[in-house]
Amino acid sequence: MTTREQTTDILIVGAGLGGIAAALAAADRGANVVLTEEFPWIGGQLTSQAVPPDEHPWVEEFGITARFRALRDGIRDVYRRRYPLIDDAHAKAELNPGAGWVSKLCHEPRIAVGVLEEMLAPHRSAGRITLLERRRPVSATTDGDRVTSVTLSSEVGEEDVTVHASYVVDATETGELLPLTGTEYVTGFESRAETGEPSAPEIAQPDNVQALSVCFAVEHVDGDHTIERPERYDFWRQYTPSAWQGHPLLSWTAPNPRTLEIDTRAFSPNPGDDALAVDADQSKNAGDQNLWFFRRIAARDLFTPGFYESDISLVNWPSIDYFLEHVLDVPRETELERYDDARQLSLSMLYWMQTEAPRADGGTGFPGLRLRPDVMGSTDGLAQAPYHRESRRIRALTTITENDVSYAIRGDEGATRYEESVGVGMYRIDLHPSTGGDTYIDVASTPFEIPLGALIPQRVTNLLAANKNIGTTHITNGCYRLHPVEWNIGEAAGHLAAFCVANGTAPHTVHSDTAYREAYQGELDATGVERHWPEGRVHAY
């Protein structure tokens, strides 16, 4: 098969939130961009992975970029313009269409796809952004410390494309460009001797990686909608992880992330609640005691009676965390087999819920649970893409450790403040069970900053990280991996690449030269990137 050649200023591989933010920032500054995406939907964890946005408690006031706020406003605008909301919901400034407890903006993923497409549309029309769809990186060429090209294979049988670019941005979910380009990186746990982190092990564990999950959406309606018994059901039904302390994975029972004590959640579809009164603030209430509400993405009571037959609830619970094996740096065939096994786990959880799950009335099974493949944009009802919590991470100019963000360590001093800051974020250090057999690590953090050096590899001069692949550790990845932080990272990376193109300089120079850095940071400020938290904002949760 022939290979088509393209040349551009900036190649951005991965059109998740970081990739889209990078493309918008670079194009707005005048650069030409090629953006690529493997899955049918752009948007990554917000869309193809179907994960409602995990955000900090102050998101409606500050702590996100102007472009990310425009995305959130755009999602709410679609509901107000196109959906039959009841009057009180339509008038609610902080409309939460799903009234889920995990986020102040739980919504159907397709809505975000449309808004993101709309944000890209002007630049695509002008030819400044070219989106190569259903493409996955398979090889790269380098010249010394520079990446010269990346070749992308089609997922739908079209010809390969090789893109030559002045700058390359890795916005993939697992840092796929790092091994292809020879960029130095780390996986799994670093050792305590290397990072000085109190939560790190004595010896490095590169194969010890957080669970991934394959999410799905369900409603509860009349009839029997039980799926075919999954091929691996018997295995997953009997699987009892050590962290579950004798309880099976397929259950309402799991460790409490903060106390590690075994906790049994409730599950009651469409119980009726005051959806307008939901206060989605995990600093006050983790919100996971009734799993139906936790990541609900459509609350029928917020819409005209009869519009929705049922609430729609997104399943992203401990019972579908796949930590049997990791998928980093294994042969592609093995990687795909493990994704299939993760999908079997998710289907097994659904089948267990439909047939064996205990009900509050003493009965068993919820056969009325029905998958919503239309909501997922898939044929089988599962999310198009697995939700990766952990990536390969660059060996960066600046590495953020637990000692920089942990509230137990930093206290009222707040997180490390960086002169090189390119953004802010906030979330607990939230690590899910991992492939090494570890249970949750859940550590209170303090509002933190994103240092420029965390986006820049130590050696490679024209590759930037724009997702969960930045210079964090296994520990701090747990708070830098969420939606608004990924967006901010991508926005900073895309703007940096365009700044370097326009000024004929390099990221390492911008990092080391005060005049260049301050000019770049001034541009970020002008576009609505908040680089420091308001004075005194050090509260943990």
The domain that holds 475 is classified in CATH as 3.50.50.60
Residue 250 in domain: yes
Confidence (pLDDT) at 539: 64
Q: What is the pLDDT of residues 469-506, one digit of tens each?
A: 999 999 999 999 999 999 999 999 999 999 999 999 99
Does 379 share its domain with 244?
A: yes
Structure tokens at 143: 């010249």
Write down which residue in 358, 388, 418 finishes a domain. 388
Does 144 share its domain with 22?
A: yes
Residue 160 in domain: yes
Rounded to an integer, what distance in angstroms lies between the CA atom of residue 490 and that of residue 492? 5
Does 166 share its domain with 118?
A: yes
Does 395 share its domain with 258?
A: no
Q: What is the pLDDT of residues 277-303, one digit of tens each?
A: 999 888 787 778 899 999 999 999 999
Rounded to an integer, what distance in angstroms lies between the CA atom of residue 301 and that of residue 281? 21
Write down which residue in 388, 407, 436 finishes a domain. 388
The total number of structural domains that make up the chain: 2
Range of the domain at 216: 212-270+310-388
Range 514-518 contact pairs with CB under 8 angstroms and sequence separation of 24 or more: 517/420, 517/452
Write down which residue in 388, 418, 433 finishes a domain. 388
Does 179 share its domain with 224?
A: no
Does 245 share its domain with 393?
A: no
Residue 405 CA to its chain's centroid (Å)? 20
Does 483 share its domain with 503?
A: yes
Residue 283 in domain: no
Of 134, 169, 231, 187, nearest in space to 327 by CA: 187
Residue 530 in domain: no
Does 495 share its domain with 372?
A: no
Does 130 share its domain with 42?
A: yes
Does 124 share its domain with 255?
A: no
Residue 58 in domain: no
pTM of this structure: 0.97
Confidence (pLDDT) at 537: 60
Residue 69 in domain: no
Residue 465 in domain: yes
> What is the Cβ-side half-sphere exposure of residue 509, based on CA atoms within 13 angstroms?
12
Of 476, 334, 384, 390, nearest in space to 206 by CA: 390
Q: Mean pLDDT per segment of 10 residues, for the chain of length 541 residues?
A: 90 98 98 98 98 94 97 98 98 97 96 98 98 98 98 96 98 98 98 96 97 98 98 98 96 93 94 92 82 97 97 97 97 98 98 97 97 97 98 98 96 94 96 95 94 98 98 97 98 98 98 98 98 77 62
Residue 61 in domain: no
Confidence (pLDDT) at 484: 98
**What's the start-to-end Cα distance of the chain, in Å?**
54
Does 347 share its domain with 488?
A: no
Confidence (pLDDT) at 3: 85
Does 43 share its domain with 182?
A: yes
Q: Where are the beta strands (DSSP E) in 210-309?
A: 212-213, 216-220, 253-255, 262-264, 296-298
Structure tokens at 450: 């994103």
Rounded to an integer, what distance in angstroms lies between the CA atom of residue 341 and that of residue 349? 12
